[in-house]
Structure 1
Amino acid sequence: MEEDIKTKIKNYKTAPFDSPFPNQKQSRNCWQNYLDFHLCKKAVTTKEGDVSVCECYWRVCKSLCPMSWVTAWDQRRAEGMFPGKV
């Protein structure tokens, strides 16, 4: 199972179809994947697991989000002023 996930991540090209965001601008999908990546990373780190399972969220985020947004969100998280629940 784990090798199957790693193979999918390695062959990943762009964001796959996401049914909650079928006909919308992808900015909400971008935001959700950014949050999911950090929530997954936090949960896996707490359980002392392998953080690479969260990489799929990061790849979708990187594919959909302008990097200026990600940089700004990272700065706000570091300052403790991030509006999302991470």
Structure 2
Amino acid sequence: MSANLKTTPIDKRFPTTNQANHCWNRYNEWVMCMKKTEGDEDACKPMRQLAISICPDEWTAKWDEERDEGRFAGVKWSG
């Protein structure tokens, strides 16, 4: 694990202790970045880090797989 690993900052849109919506938003923000930059992983790495810092590993793995298969319910980008 990187010594520079940081978690996502507090987001006032998600004031409750259940962070599922915050996780979903962070993941989709990363997908939107990838879409905008035509897949530039380096440019979107900070956004990916924010998503994986708050989301359970199982969720991001599932969503990555769903995106690869074209059945992700969030932002559409096939890469």
% identical aligned pairs: 35
**Structure 1 residue 29: Cα displacement:** 0.6
In proportion to residue count, which structure has more helix? 1
TM-score by length of 1: 0.72
Structure 2 length-normalised TM:
0.77
Name 1:58's counterpart in structure 2.
48
Deviations for 1:41-74, whole angstroms, at most 9, x for unmatched residues? 110127xxx5433222211111111111111111
1:12 & 1:73 partners in 2: Cα distance?
22
Of structures 1 and 2, the larger Rg is shown by 1
Report the count of equivalent residues. 74
Runs of 5+ unmatched residues, structure 2: none
Structure 1 residue runs of 4+, over 4 Å off?
A: none
Give the aligned CA root-mean-square deviation in angstroms: 2.0
The structure-2 alpha-carbon separation of the partners of 1:69 and 1:19, relative to structure 1 and needing over 3 Å to count, comes to: same
Any gaps of 5 or more consecutive residues in structure 1?
A: 1-9
Pick aligned residue for 2:67 from 42, 56, 77: 77
